[in-house]
């Protein structure tokens, strides 16, 4: 069996995902991917006819674990939160995913469509009609993207050994603001005296997203 024959669709998608995470979406090309995998570009066309199909395949691969557990018997709120938590977790693990979801026609990916369908089903249990449910699903997806994009502390390109100095400089820059104009920003500067509790941030953000949905469900009922 040749290397091309041993190459699975999942293996190609996984390597493309790694390239996107490390170097950005522009690095994902058929030629570059073939070189990474040690095959000819023609070998990849067995799985993906062009870059658009490749991007779609990566979306389908990375979202494969996003689903509601319909056998658990948990209330719809708990299952819905679990879906959003999974999406946030995947985005935290794969920084290129938000850009990928904008670049690819995600609605053609089976895993995205299944996750959306699961979400609509759960929201129907909450008393929303199907149009409202789709609006909420879009809100939750964009909320998850925003939550990951807004993760506190240093930018991703700051090495860990420089994080403390980055926080110090950030704190000083805020403390130097005019106190009569920006008193709360100066107060906020104190938060840069130590590394943020990132897990607390994500739990708070998920509570914020879900509380809006649950409040609207109460009104809908």
Indicate if the pLDDT at residue 70 is higher than 80. no
What is residue 6's predicted lDDT score, i.e. its pLDDT?
Answer: 60
Q: What are 127-183's pLDDT values in tens digits?
A: 999 999 999 999 999 999 999 999 998 888 889 999 999 999 999 999 999 999 999
Q: What are 99-123's pLDDT values in tens digits?
A: 999 888 899 999 999 999 999 999 9
Q: Could you tell me if 78 and 110 are in contact, meaning their C-beta atoms sit under 8 angstroms apart?
A: no
What is residue 72's predicted lDDT score, i.e. its pLDDT?
Answer: 65
Which tops the pLDDT comparison, 3 or 85? Answer: 85
Indicate if the pLDDT at residue 47 is higher than 90. no
Q: Mean pLDDT throughout 43-62?
A: 89
For residue 40, the SS3 value is coil
Q: What is the DSSP letter of 150?
A: T
What is residue 206's predicted lDDT score, i.e. its pLDDT?
Answer: 97
Indicate if the pLDDT at residue 21 is higher than 80. yes
Q: Could you tell me if 158 and 167 are in contact, meaning their C-beta atoms sit under 8 angstroms apart?
A: no
């Amino acid at each position: 069996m040749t290397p091309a024959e041993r190459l699975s669709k999942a293996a190609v998608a996984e390597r493309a995902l790694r390239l996107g995470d490390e170097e950005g979406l522009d690095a994902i090309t058929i030629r570059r991917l073939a070189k990474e995998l040690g095959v000819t570009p023609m070998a990849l066309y067995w799985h993906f006819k062009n870059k658009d199909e490749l991007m779609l395949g990566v979306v389908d691969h990375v979202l494969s674990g996003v689903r509601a557990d319909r056998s658990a018997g948990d209330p719809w709120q708990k299952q819905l939160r679990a879906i959003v938590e999974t999406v946030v977790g995947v985005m935290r693990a794969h920084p290129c995913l938000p850009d990928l979801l904008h670049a690819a026609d995600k609605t053609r990916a089976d895993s995205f469509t299944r996750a959306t369908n699961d979400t609509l089903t759960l929201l129907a249990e909450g008393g929303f009609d199907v149009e409202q449910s789709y609006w909420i699903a879009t809100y939750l997806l964009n909320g998850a993207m925003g939550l990951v994009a807004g993760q506190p502390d240093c930018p991703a390109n700051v090495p860990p050994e420089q994080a403390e100095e980055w926080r110090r400089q950030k704190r000083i820059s805020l403390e130097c603001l005019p106190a009569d104009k920006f008193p709360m920003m100066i107060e906020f500067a104190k938060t840069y005296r130590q590394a943020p509790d990132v897990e607390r941030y994500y739990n708070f953000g998920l509570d914020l997203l879900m509380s809006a949905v649950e409040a609207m469900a109460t009104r809908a009922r």
